[in-house]
Structure 1
Amino acid sequence: MRLRKVFGALVVLGALGGCSKIPGSCEQDSDCGLNQFCHSQENQCFDSRYTGLSIEIPVEHTVVGAGPVTVRAHLEVNPVARPVYPSQLSFTAKRVSDGTTTELTQQSAENGTYTAVWTPPTEEGEYILQATSPEAAGLSASVQVTVDRTAPSLVVQVPGAQSTVPADGFSYTDPKATTPAWRRDQTVTVRVESDSKDLDPASVHVVVRGYKGGTDVTDLALTPVTPCTKTYCGTVEVPLWRPGLPDFRGNFLIEVTANDVVGNVRQSSTPIPVTRWKWAFDGASGAIRVTPAIGDKGTIYFGTSDANGKVFALEPNGTKKWEKQLGSVLGSPTVGKNPDGTDRLYVAPGSGTLATVYALDANGTTLAICPVPGAQAGIVTSALAITHQYLKSQNATFETAISSHNPDDGAFLFFRPDLPSTSPIQCTGRGNPFTEPQGASIVIQGNDYFFSAPRSTNPTAWNYRFNPELETFELPQTYDYLSMGAPLTGMGLAEGGTLVAAGGLRSSTGTVRGGILAMYQVPSTGSSYKWQFPSDPTGSEPVRNMVIGAGNVVIFGRDLPEGAAELTAINLMAPSDEAAVRATAPNAGSFPGAPVLGASSTLYAASFTGPEAGLGEVSAWSASDLKLRWKLSDSVGPAEASPSLDCTRATDGTPASASHGVLYVPSLDGRLYAFVVDSPGLDTSAPWPKYQHDARNTGNPETPITNCR
């Protein structure tokens, strides 16, 4: 019995002994010592949960630049250990040259991958980036990198503008430009070079900054070029009409940026001096008192006014095509067409009180004259006009130039050069009731011809109507504007056929009157509705001419002997003076001539007065609100006649596809000025965008406004 009890106790003790842990065995990591882990299959504690630490990026011997560098390290866990990772690694950057060490701030930790961001210092050289895990038995990893903070070299070369030697009456250099300047209608080739071997060619980028906040150009591309003695050479074509230029002259800034392979960025910039000055021509034969007419290929025709005055034909590029000494030209010429489509110029030079109308071909050869030699006609001081008359006797339609001659033998002449010189109707006349020069030039609508009484008489518009069946003129109809109390000096036709006139008076006693008048319908039958602005023109400075924009917006300046008056834009037929005024620009200048409405909603004006005696001004304005865009005040003569506007031309005279054009300004100093402007010709949406309607000066709405097609 006692033996059985002893044996039972031994069995119990043996069972209890089998339940105790075997040394090194485990169920979980907490059963193991520091830095040990519990083997997931053998349930034994093992050392080294982590098998390695590596830096994945950057790799050894990487070259880094100035930008932030991501340092990414990865801690490898033993495959049989549970994936438990410490929350932090220690990141440092040490400069090799002196051991200076910087601690980096860890940015993220996920599944054994850790990141930190290092901003390389300004000191270039070798650096060691190190990651250490204090919880992983001091595992660490490092890479050596090179810091390169030097941006690639860039040299931007803008060639100097070449000065053209004055020749044959032309000057091509802006007289007030402080350095030789490129013209706004030119293209300049800019060269970019770099001798940095680590330059990234794909990163080279060009921006051309507009002047004074003007529009920037950002879409230009560099083209690699050879030969090249540098690591990189490229050129870019800069069209100087594209950047914004809210002035007559200024400096664009070409900025070139590029980076090397590690992101160091270099920017280099160089100014490009630019001017709107294209050329000036001095005919050395008197003041220019007429508006130039523009031919089909852009030829500019005009005359000068001294006793030995000449007629000139100039090419748009600034060369003289021909000149012809015919006498004083006081009335603006007009351009028609020969049967072969080439230009036919009508001009009426004179001497003393007599004048002759010439029809000249595009080369200056005389085709016909009117009246015939030996006959007489008075001087022509207003613009010639062109229409196309059907003659029943010929059963054909003929181009007909119309001129008004005063004071001696006052007459209207109708000149048809396509008829033979022996024909009695090649040059015919109609009595002119006035013996003084008329106030406004002839304007035409169909078979109706409108002109005004002389400046010294009442404000009256006259209308001759041509009867093609009888080949005669009906008795003239007159439309008086006595309420204006001043003679009419300019006329035009608005939308709907409204005849619009400008009037003005400055008497020897100091009385001034001036404004805009309108007749409701043209041709008028019986009574007509009349309108004027201002309703009382007394005290308003004279208005000599005007332009009419889309929607019948009339824009005009005022004529002062000195000083400056406003430009005004009004709504035609508005019910009151207050409702009429759309915009005004005070102190804009003195304007004996009409402004010009250009495409791109820009108005151009030439002033008789300027900042000092002997100078005038040329200005550009927003046509919608008369905000000034630019003004030239230091190098243009006073203007009495209206300017002309044309598009840019190719070398053969055909219109070029471009966003710019050329403004031609005649001056009393005897020069014709050509300026590059930001309108590719006249505003074709306007019913009367310039003096005498169109580029050819025909005074006829049936003529296309522009030769630019």
Structure 2
Amino acid sequence: MLSPRLVRQTGLEVTVKLRKVFGALLALGALEGCSKIPGSCEQDESCGQNQFCHPEVKQCFDSRYTGLNILTPAENTILGGSSVTVRARLDVNPEARPVYPSQLNFTVTRTSDGTSTELPLQGSENGTYSAVWTPAAEGEFIIRATSPEAGGLSTSVRVTVDLTAPALAVLIPEAQPSAPANGFTYTDPKDSSAWRRDQTVTIRVESEAPDLVPTSLNLVVRGHKGGTDVTDLVLTPVTPCNGKTYCGTVDVPLWRPALPDFRGNFLVEVTASDPAGNVRQASGSIPVTRWKWAFDGASGAIQTTPAIGDKGTIYFGTSNTNGKVFALEPNGTKKWEKQLGPVLGSPAVGKSPDGTERVYVAPNSGELATVYALDANGTPISSCPLPGGALGPVTSALAITQHYIKEENVTVETAISNHNLYESGIIAFRPDLTSGRRCSGLSTASTEPQGASLIIKGNEVFFSNPGDYTVQNYRFDPQVGWNSINTFRSINIGAPISGLGVAEGGYVVGAGGLRSPGGEVKGGIMSLFLSPSGTRTWQYPRDTTGSEPVRNLVIGAGNVVIFGRDLPEGAAELTALNLLATSDEAALRATAPDAGSFPGAPVLGASGILYTASFTGPEAGVGEVAAWSANDLKLSWKLSDSVGRAEASPSLDCTRTPDGTPASTPHGVLYVPSLDGRLYAFVVDSSGLDTSAPWPKYQHDARNTGNPETPITNCR
């Protein structure tokens, strides 16, 4: 009788050989008299441990399981501190039924000291077993999987645990503002270490970790007070690295993160990882300010609005007896100065016949004034009045247009102003003429308020008449000179008009007010519509009595009029109105209470931002500068220190390259004139004036021409 147990063989080879053996035995009759072949079976239970019953030949065979393998982690894997799933698979002989043991043992042994930890089985399915290991220490470890029920099959992998994230250092250089020079100061008086909002800072990141993965580096610049972050900046590897294993730099444009304040801090966060997945974060802070520079001309208060030329040159005058006209470069250097006397009316920038820049300014000397045309170097090229003539003090703005002069059959640039003397009125200055028309005028017996606006629209001029609290309108006729437009009738709001603007649709809008010695106050807004068919008038509020004086205004897109109130102390509201509303309730679009005191006009900047400069502030002698949402007058930020009181309106320009070309950046510069004699330059988040607004600033445009036909901005 045959009783041997067949040796271990697997797969198709075993089946083929078995069939040959049993076939031969049967043919020889060797199995005669045997009722059962030794080792035969019907099912697995009839076989010994770890054996299986072959389903075709009904014979027991050894080795149900052909192997045990650890699937994860792989050999020589570097692991971090995170939990890792250990997975092992028990392979079954293809000829056997897939019956798997219920248990598989996992152990982790530290090679340095032999410390061993058993991992509880977490799950098993179809011969795949898993456990979870959370490394608690660094070093080399052996992970072993053993199956006692599968004949003691065992396998292992060797891994390394690294729990230390790569070290990082974020290096932010200190700001290096220029030293004070020639009347300029460049350091924020409240934060001497701050970088300017319009600068770019180069940040350096270093690491001594040999296992840092450079591609894992990620940098984020956090906006101030939860504002918009910058996430698309990429570090660039650099050499030399001073013995470090990694060095990289990145340029951070400080105008990109959100800065909902005048000063703030941007947090720079850098993260990096190693092959084990350990993550390190390092950070640094960049102090940022909107302060650009301040210039002190040491020649009296600045009571005029700066005019800005093609290349960003800033022109303004000062008001003491030795008053001067200054030209400053936008980078904070002085181009020239000219001592001509007190300047109380805002200058305007025009063009000479050869296209070079020309500056019109009207300094006063006692009760007399002279209107000058200065070339780009500050040299007077002509003046008005003519010899023997006299002009009274000029305290209002200058406006610029083109007039056709019949006597010389030429169209020339004309500067219009209003002077106050015994026979006050309009003065028209044409420096390119040689005839009597070079300096001519019209007596109107009007006395202009300080800082009053002047509009020139084609051949028509609009200015206030403080005598009857209305606006006058005259037209220049090349044949006969100036003529009053009799069809024009403005509203008498019971107070002198000082601010003027032109709205969409031909509306002339005025702002005015008074404060009587007895304490009575009046102030408001009026408008009228010029058309061939007549006039349309409008007034806000309907009753101006008791309303604080309004000195100036701006007009935004959709004919939204924005203005503040003029207070000797304290703060009043800032108001936005819909010009065409039929009632006070419908007219009121938005208001900001306690916004400040505003003798000057606000400025409407690009990106929907409104800027104001206040006469009053938190303490005596200090003003305030603020930025608001032009849509709803929500405050964005306010500077309540380090700036003097403002009586005149601010100006706004784009950022400039060194040669004066407008820069392609989303920020610009706000120029604030002050009664402390300083002109302040602040970096703001508007790239120039709002070109969609019909009248975004005092005297309409960057040049102060008071002419709606002049491009609003010199920026592109």
Which residue of structure 2 lines up, in the alignment, with residue 11 of structure 1? none
Whole-Å separation in 2 of the counterparts to 1:432 and 1:150: 86
Which residue of structure 1 lines up, in the alignment, with residue 643 of structure 2? 636
Contact 2:503 2:509 in 1 (8 A): yes
Whole-Å separation in 1 of the counterparts to 2:557 and 2:449: 31
> Matched residue of 2:215: which SS?
helix
Query: Does structure 1 residue 532 correspond to structure 2 residue 544?
Result: no
The alpha carbon displacement at 1:479 in A equals 5.3
> Matched residue of 1:425: which SS?
helix
The alpha carbon displacement at 1:573 in A equals 2.1
Query: Does structure 1 residue 217 correspond to structure 2 residue 230?
Result: yes
Contact 1:108 1:116 in 2 (8 A): no
Contact 2:262 2:639 in 1 (8 A): yes
Whole-Å separation in 1 of the counterparts to 2:246 and 2:685: 36
Which residue of structure 1 lines up, in the alignment, with residue 530 of structure 2? 522
CA distance 1:88–1:538, change in 2 (3 Å): farther
Query: Does structure 1 residue 101 correspond to structure 2 residue 108?
Result: no
CA distance 1:120–1:391, change in 2 (3 Å): same
Whole-Å separation in 2 of the counterparts to 1:51 and 1:16: 32
2:454 pairs with 442, 446, 460, which one?
A: 442
Amino acid at match of 1:221: V
Which moved further from structure 2: 297-306 or 223-232?
Answer: 223-232
1:274 pairs with 283, 288, 305, which one?
A: 288
The alpha carbon displacement at 1:142 in A equals 1.7
Aligned counterparts, 1:63-78, within 5 A: 63-78=78-93
The alpha carbon displacement at 1:220 in A equals 0.4
- Matched residues, number: 686
Whole-Å separation in 1 of the counterparts to 2:470 and 2:431: 31
Q: CA RMSD in A?
A: 2.0
The gaps in structure 1 that reach 5 residues or longer are 1-13
Which residue of structure 1 lines up, in the alignment, with residue 484 of structure 2? 475
Which moved further from structure 2: 503-512 or 429-438?
Answer: 429-438
CA distance 1:303–1:145, change in 2 (3 Å): same
Query: Does structure 1 residue 433 correspond to structure 2 residue 475?
Result: no
Which residue of structure 2 lines up, in the alignment, with residue 4 of structure 1? none
Amino acid at match of 1:181: A
CA distance 1:303–1:90, change in 2 (3 Å): same
Whole-Å separation in 2 of the counterparts to 1:365 and 1:67: 76
The alpha carbon displacement at 1:69 in A equals 2.2
Amino acid at match of 1:201: P
Whole-Å separation in 2 of the counterparts to 1:585 and 1:494: 23
Whole-Å separation in 2 of the counterparts to 1:321 and 1:337: 18
The alpha carbon displacement at 1:459 in A equals 1.6
Which residue of structure 2 lines up, in the alignment, with residue 393 of structure 1? 407
Whole-Å separation in 2 of the counterparts to 1:15 and 1:182: 103
Q: Structure 1-normalised TM-score?
A: 0.93
Aligned counterparts, 1:188-207, within 5 A: 188-207=201-220
Deviations 1:107-141, CA, capped at 9 Å, x for gaps: 4534x3434443322x2223222222232122222
> Matched residue of 2:436: which SS?
coil
> Matched residue of 1:140: which SS?
strand
Contact 1:377 1:408 in 2 (8 A): no
Whole-Å separation in 1 of the counterparts to 2:98 and 2:123: 21
Query: Does structure 1 residue 119 correspond to structure 2 residue 134?
Result: yes
Deviations 1:381-423, CA, capped at 9 Å, x for gaps: 000000111233333321111011112442322111222xx32
Give the share of equivalent positions with the same residue, in percent: 72
Whole-Å separation in 1 of the counterparts to 2:304 and 2:386: 25
Aligned counterparts, 1:607-646, within 5 A: 607-646=614-653
Which moved further from structure 2: 631-640 or 91-100?
Answer: 91-100
Contact 2:490 2:527 in 1 (8 A): no
Amino acid at match of 2:530: V
Aligned counterparts, 1:535-614, within 5 A: 535-614=542-621
Whole-Å separation in 2 of the counterparts to 1:471 and 1:659: 49
2:463 pairs with 429, 451, 461, which one?
A: 451
Whole-Å separation in 1 of the counterparts to 2:94 and 2:450: 109
Query: Does structure 1 residue 31 correspond to structure 2 residue 46?
Result: yes
Whole-Å separation in 2 of the counterparts to 1:203 and 1:566: 52
Whole-Å separation in 2 of the counterparts to 1:64 and 1:503: 76
Whole-Å separation in 2 of the counterparts to 1:435 and 1:130: 101
Query: Does structure 1 residue 262 correspond to structure 2 residue 270?
Result: no
CA distance 1:414–1:486, change in 2 (3 Å): same
Which residue of structure 1 lines up, in the alignment, with residue 20 of structure 2? none
1:151 pairs with 134, 151, 165, which one?
A: 165
Contact 2:395 2:451 in 1 (8 A): no
Contact 2:220 2:230 in 1 (8 A): yes
CA distance 1:255–1:513, change in 2 (3 Å): same
Deviations 1:486-524, CA, capped at 9 Å, x for gaps: 1111110000010101011111111111111111x2256
Which residue of structure 1 lines up, in the alignment, with residue 382 of structure 2? 368
Which residue of structure 1 lines up, in the alignment, with residue 97 of structure 2? 82
Whole-Å separation in 2 of the counterparts to 1:18 and 1:653: 117
Which moved further from structure 2: 435-444 or 221-230?
Answer: 435-444
Contact 1:91 1:106 in 2 (8 A): no
Which residue of structure 1 lines up, in the alignment, with residue 420 of structure 2? 406
Which residue of structure 2 lines up, in the alignment, with residue 656 of structure 1? 663
1:502 pairs with 479, 499, 511, which one?
A: 511
Which residue of structure 2 lines up, in the alignment, with residue 182 of structure 1? 195
Query: Does structure 1 residue 305 correspond to structure 2 residue 315?
Result: no
Deviations 1:76-101, CA, capped at 9 Å, x for gaps: 32343334333553333344436251
> Matched residue of 2:471: which SS?
strand
Whole-Å separation in 1 of the counterparts to 2:108 and 2:583: 81
Amino acid at match of 1:92: T
Whole-Å separation in 2 of the counterparts to 1:529 and 1:263: 74
Whole-Å separation in 2 of the counterparts to 1:471 and 1:317: 47
Q: Structure 2-normalised TM-score?
A: 0.92
Contact 2:397 2:451 in 1 (8 A): no
Displacement over 4 Å in runs of 4+: 14-19, 435-439, 478-483, 523-526
The alpha carbon displacement at 1:437 in A equals 4.9
Which moved further from structure 2: 694-703 or 481-490?
Answer: 481-490
Which residue of structure 1 lines up, in the alignment, with residue 687 of structure 2? 680
Deviations 1:192-217, CA, capped at 9 Å, x for gaps: 00011100000111100011011100
> Matched residue of 1:135: which SS?
helix
Whole-Å separation in 1 of the counterparts to 2:586 and 2:636: 26
Query: Does structure 1 residue 493 correspond to structure 2 residue 505?
Result: no
1:289 pairs with 295, 299, 303, which one?
A: 303
Contact 1:93 1:104 in 2 (8 A): no
CA distance 1:667–1:150, change in 2 (3 Å): same
Contact 2:78 2:159 in 1 (8 A): yes
